[in-house]
């Protein structure tokens, strides 16, 4: 379950930001998780909440923002949403020649005081 180690790293990043910017409270964190990132969003959120207990992030609201992946068909040029890496075009069933997005995993914002 790599979601636990990823959650630990996100909490450590937040702690470094608290120290660096001399803030006392982190109210919210927004994290983008792409559909093709290999991260199970529900498990990751549970791990974040578990690790945050008894830390200054205990009351932080974590927002997981899903980032869908899209592919462009190599045959008919249709752009379509991909739920998995080996998805095929819904129109002609060819594989995409280009995948845009969906591989993100990043903290996009921290709301602190």
Please tell me the predicted confidence (pLDDT) of residue 101: 87
| Angstrom distance (rounded) from CA 88 to CA 96 | 7
Per-residue pLDDT at 1 exceeds 70 = no
Domains and CATH numbers, the chain: 2-112 (3.30.2320.80)
For 87-105, what is each residue's pLDDT tens digit?
A: 999 999 999 999 988 999 9
**pLDDT at residue 39, rounded to an integer:** 95
Q: Give the model's pLDDT for residue 54.
A: 85
In angstroms, the CA 91 to CA 19 distance is 52
- The predicted-structure confidence for 19-58, as pLDDT tens digits, reads as follows 899 988 899 999 999 999 999 999 999 999 999 998 889 9
Mean local confidence (pLDDT), 8-28: 91
DSSP 54: T
- pLDDT at residue 78, as a whole number: 96
CA distance 40 to 37: 9
| 106 — pLDDT class (breaks 50, 70, 90) | very high
Kindly state the average pLDDT of the residues 73-92: 94
Cβ neighbours for 90, distance < 8 A, ≥ 6 positions apart:
78, 80
User: What is the reported pLDDT for 71?
Assistant: 94
**112, 25 in Cβ contact below 8 A?**
yes
For residues 88 and 97, give the distance between their C-alpha atoms in angstroms, rounded to a whole number: 10
């Amino acid at each position: 379950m790599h979601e636990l180690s990823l959650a630990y790293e996100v909490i450590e990043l937040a702690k470094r930001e608290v120290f660096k910017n001399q803030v006392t409270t982190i109210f919210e964190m927004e994290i983008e998780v792409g559909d093709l990132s290999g991260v199970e969003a529900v498990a990751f959120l549970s791990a974040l909440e578990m690790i945050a207990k008894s830390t200054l992030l205990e009351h932080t609201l974590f927002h997981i923002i899903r980032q869908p992946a899209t592919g462009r068909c190599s045959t008919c040029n249709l752009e379509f949403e991909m739920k998995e890496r080996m998805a095929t075009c819904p129109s002609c069933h060819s594989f995409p020649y280009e995948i845009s997005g969906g591989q993100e995993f990043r903290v996009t914002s921290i709301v602190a005081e």
